[in-house]
Amino acid sequence: MQWQTIFKKELTEHWRSFKWIWVPIVFIIFAIMDPLTMYYFPIIMDTVGNVPEGATMDFPTPSVAEAMIMSFSQLGLLGVLIAVVVSMGLVSKEVKSGVYELVLSKPVSFTNYITAKYVAILMLIAFSLAASLLVSWYYVNILFGTISFIQIVVSILFFIVYFMMILGIVMLFNSFLKSQGLVAFLSIITVVALNVVSSIYSHVITWSPTLISDYINVYFYSGQLETEIWFSSVAAVAITVISLIIATITLKNKAID
Amino acid sequence: MTLMSVEQLTKTYQSTNVVDELTFSLEPGKCVALLGPNGAGKTTTLRMLAGFIKPTKGEIVFNEERFSRDVRHYVGYLPQYPVFHNWMSGEEFLTYVGQLAYLTKHEAKAKAAELLDLVNLSDAKKQRISKYSGGMKQRLGIAQALIHDPKLIILDEPVSSLDPIGRREVLNLIRELKKDATILFSTHILNDAEEVSEEILLMHKGKMIKQGAISDVSETQGTTSIHLSFGDEPKFIEERLKEIDSVFNVNREEDGFIVTVHDINIARSQLLDLIQQEEWELTRFEIGKTSLEDIFMKAVTE
């Protein structure tokens, strides 16, 4: 019951700060930007002009898979950034402003506090991802060719698992830092580091969660789901759970000063 | 019966004892003032009592067997600078914290309405908290501390940041609350403590330097002086006062007279009779006692 109270409060707060409106819109823009510009590139060049007479321009139209992957990789960069920005203050802002002291003077369980906030922001991000990728899928289907509905839904679900981990990491930094900026900075550094390490040793740590997007790309090309994507997902969930547990323990032991 | 007893409570930050071996107990139904200059360790003490920070050493026992759960179930706490979710209305916030304290939504709403009435915020209940004035926020802070009917109400400097009107409102509210709960509030303003509390705990540099009932601490034996002030000074007043047989001496002070008397009870009625009879414009009649300020200064400089 307490969990639902905090969860509902979080949803209301996100709603009143218009996050439920701008985050999906921004995600949709990121997702459709690249496929649309690629498709209309020749027309855009024609209209904007300034192409010297006689210059032949030959732009290969991307394949269906390539077009869809563009959306995913845009969200994999900018989407991650936005996800970090909207969640960087979830706990740290409340601790810094002092609301935390009032809220925690009630018998609030730290586990409820962390997980309710986490699930609320996850819902927002998952919704934004699903909405933006489905819109992009709609355009890709019209402009480039067909991708099955099952395939896009499965890809979106795995992609959400990847974002689950990112939000988990942000919650972890939230629990012991007061500065939102620092939370964002360290979260992004961590994700980048994970990505770099995983791509260097991609043949060894094939279960790395950051490889989920690579496996999704393969899925679009081949139509076959790699087995490794399951291991990566399990790893992502494991990192999420561990992050949330550590975040809870950190808050519990922290003295307000 | 003791509501809460504290034994050798100590909090150490970077090897200094911010709170140093406090031992005291709180009786139910009393209003206790925690006094001390800024930096005496009052806030740290209150935070430990409210269950926020762990003591380095010592024990806080909350009514032994009867309350064995998380102490926060029984304590209502108002921080020194309460901060709310400013995007909520006062009513929403109270309902929210009520539900956090395990009231059902229905109960929380009912209790919120009742408390908003008590702290005189019913008219502003739908307004966003960001629009509230300082005094309104302080009153909302008190209301949120009361939402789960706590056995002990801890208020950290509830009046220090308020203007005289807000201060008066909050003090009246504390007086009202005393009827049903135990209140522990910190302040560095001695008048406030004198006004509403029965007991004081006096802290200085983390240590408890004086504790006890306010009457025990503040009354000196054999008081023989009365301080009088008048709006418009009556003619020949000094002579008239000296004529009273219980009056021993009259001293003119900057703001009135200090009348030294033989027997305080006789002198009081004789003086008041005279003043009534002559219809003098009395503005102050104070039986001299050591004020908390004197005790405080004495204890601190000792």
H, E, C per residue of B128-139: EHHHCCHHHHHH
pLDDT (0 to 100) of residue B222: 47
Residues from chain B that touch A257, judged by Cβ atoms under 8 A, are 13
- Phi/psi zone of residue B193: left (φ > 0), alpha (ψ -120 to 50 degrees), beta? alpha
pLDDT of residue B261: 77
Give ∠ CA A157-A129-A200 in degrees, rounded to 5: 70
Q: Does B128 touch chain A (CB under 8 A)?
A: no
| pLDDT over threshold 60, residue B175 | yes
CA distances to B37, B262, B295 from B301, rounded to whole Å, are 12, 32, 10
CB contact under 8 A, B87 and A106: no
Handedness of CA B21, B23, B28, B31 (dihedral sign): negative
Higher-pLDDT residue of B31, B265: B31
- DSSP letters along chain B, please? --SEEEEEEEEEETTEEEEEEEEEEE-TT-EEEEE--TTSSHHHHHHHHTTSS--SEEEEEETTTT--S-GGGTEEEE-SS----TTSBHHHHHHHHHHHTT--HHHHHHHHHHHHHHTT-GGGTTSBGGG--HHHHHHHHHHHHHTT--SEEEEESSSTTS-HHHHHHHHHHHHHHTTTSEEEEEES-HHHHHHH-SEEEEEETTEEEEEEEHHHHHPPTT--EEEEEESSPPTTHHHHHHHSTTEEEEEEETTEEEEEES-HHHHHHHHHHHHHHHT--EEEEEE----HHHHHHHHHH-
pLDDT band at B3 (very low <50, low <70, confident <90, very high): confident
Residue A122 has pLDDT above 70, yes or no: yes
Residue B281 pLDDT: 84
pLDDT of amino acid B151: 87
Q: Is A130 or B191 the better-scoring residue by pLDDT?
A: A130
Q: Is the Cβ of B148 closer than 8 Å to some Cβ of chain A?
A: yes
Choose the closest CB to A103 out of B51, B100, B145.
Answer: B100
Q: Is any Cβ of chain B less than 8 angstroms from the Cβ of A13?
A: yes
Chain A residue at shortest CA distance from B48: A255
Contacts of A9 in chain B (CB under 8 A): 85, 96
Ranking A99-108, B22-31, B91-100, B226-235 by mean pLDDT, the lowest is B226-235
Name which of B54, B83, B148 is nearest A102 (Cβ-Cβ). Answer: B83
CB contact under 8 A, A5 and B76: no
CA atoms within 13 Å, Cβ hemisphere of A238: 9
Q: With beta carbons under 8 A apart, name residues in chain A contacting B96.
A: 5, 9
> In the predicted model, what is the mean pLDDT of chain B?
84
Q: DSSP letter at A40?
A: H
Question: How far, rounded to the nearest angstrom, does the alpha carbon of residue B286 sit from its chain's CA centroid?
Answer: 21
| Cα nearest neighbour of B108 on chain A | A5
Question: CB–CB of A96/A178 below 8 Å?
Answer: yes
Q: Is B101 on the interface with A (CB under 8 A)?
A: yes
E strands present in A72-193: none
| A138 vs B168: CA distance, rounded Å | 65
Count the neighbouring beta carbons within 10 Å of the beta carbon of residue B46.
24
CB contact, 8 Å: B158 with chain A?
no
Asked if A255 and B76 come within 8 Å (Cβ–Cβ), the reply is no
Average pLDDT over residues B16-33: 88
A107 contacts B100? CB cut-off 8 A: yes
The mean of the pLDDT values for chain A is 91
Q: Which residue of B has its CA nearest to A13?
A: B87
Instruction: Encode pLDDT of B254-289 as tens digits.
Output: 778 878 777 778 888 888 888 888 888 888 888 765
Pairing between β-strand B182-187 and β-strand B152-156 as defined by DSSP bridges: parallel
Q: pLDDT tens across A14-67, in order?
A: 999 999 999 999 999 999 999 998 888 888 877 876 767 666 666 777 888 999
A182 has a chain B CB within 8 A of its CB = no
Tell me if B100 and A16 make a contact (CB, 8 A cut-off).
no
Q: What are chain B's domains?
A: 4-218 (3.40.50.300), 225-292 (3.30.70)
Which is higher by pLDDT, B177 or B84? B84
How far is it, in rounded angstroms, from Cα B78 to Cα B146? 9
A69-119: pLDDT as tens digits:
999 999 999 999 999 999 999 999 998 998 988 998 899 999 999 999 999
| Token output for A181 | 């900026």
**Residue A99 at interface with chain B, using a CB cutoff of 8 Å:** yes
- Would an 8 Å CB–CB cutoff place B149 in contact with chain A? no
Q: Is A37 on the interface with B (CB under 8 A)?
A: no
Q: What is the pLDDT of residue A68?
A: 93
**What letter represents residue B294's amino acid?**
D
Contacts of B145 in chain A (CB under 8 A): 105
Identify all chain A residues contacting B69, using CB atoms and an 8 Å cutoff. 107
> For position A185, what pLDDT does the model report?
96
C-alpha separations of A53 from A42, A46, A57, B108 in Å? 15, 12, 11, 76
| Contact at CB, A98 and B85, closer than 8 angstroms | no
Confidence of residue B223 (pLDDT cuts 50, 70, 90): low
Is B102 within 8 Å of A108 when comparing Cβ atoms?
no
Shortest Cα–Cα distance, B92 to chain A (Å): 10
CA B302/CA B297 separation, integer angstroms: 8
The answer to whether the CB of B20 falls within 8 A of the CB of B56 is: no
Give the gap in angstroms from C-alpha B109 to the nearest C-alpha of chain A: 13
Q: What is the pLDDT of residue B221?
A: 41
A1 vs B99: CB contact, 8 Å cut-off? yes
* Mean pLDDT, rounded, for B123-135: 91
CA distance A218 to B90: 53
Is residue A254 within 8 angstroms of chain B, CB to CB? no
> Identity (one letter) of the amino acid at B100?
L
Average pLDDT in the B181-210 region? 86
- Say whether residue B72 is in contact with chain A using an 8 A CB cutoff: yes
B76 touches chain A (CB under 8 A): yes
Tokens representing residue B241 in the block: 């006062």
A46 close contact with B: CB closer than 8 A? no
The pLDDT value given to residue B195: 84
The yes-or-no verdict on residue B68 having pLDDT over 70 is no
Split at pLDDT 50, 70, 90, the class of A257 is very low
Q: Which of B13, B83, B102 minimises the CB distance to A107?
A: B102
Q: Which of A13, A98, A106 lies closest to B72 in CB terms?
A: A106
Question: A72 near A155, Cβ under 8 Å?
Answer: yes
**A98 shares contact with chain B (CB less than 8 Å):** yes
Contacts of B72 in chain A (CB under 8 A): 104-108
In this prediction, residues A123-152 reach a mean pLDDT of 94
ipTM of the complex, rounded to two decimals: 0.86
Token pair, residue B68, equals: 């064995």
Q: Kindly determine whether residue B87 and residue A17, on different chains, have CB atoms separated by under 8 Å.
A: yes
Nearest to A116 by CA among B129, B106, B149, B96: B96
Q: Which residue has the tokens 């064995």?
A: B68
Where is pLDDT greater, at B256 or A197? A197
A13·B79 Cβ contact <8 A: no
Quote the percentage of chain A above a pLDDT of 90: 73
A34-37 contacts at long range (C-beta below 8 A, 24 or more positions apart): A34/A67, A34/A70, A34/A71, A34/A74, A35/A62, A35/A67, A35/A68, A35/A70, A35/A71, A35/A136, A35/A139, A35/A140, A35/A143, A35/A144, A36/A139, A36/A143
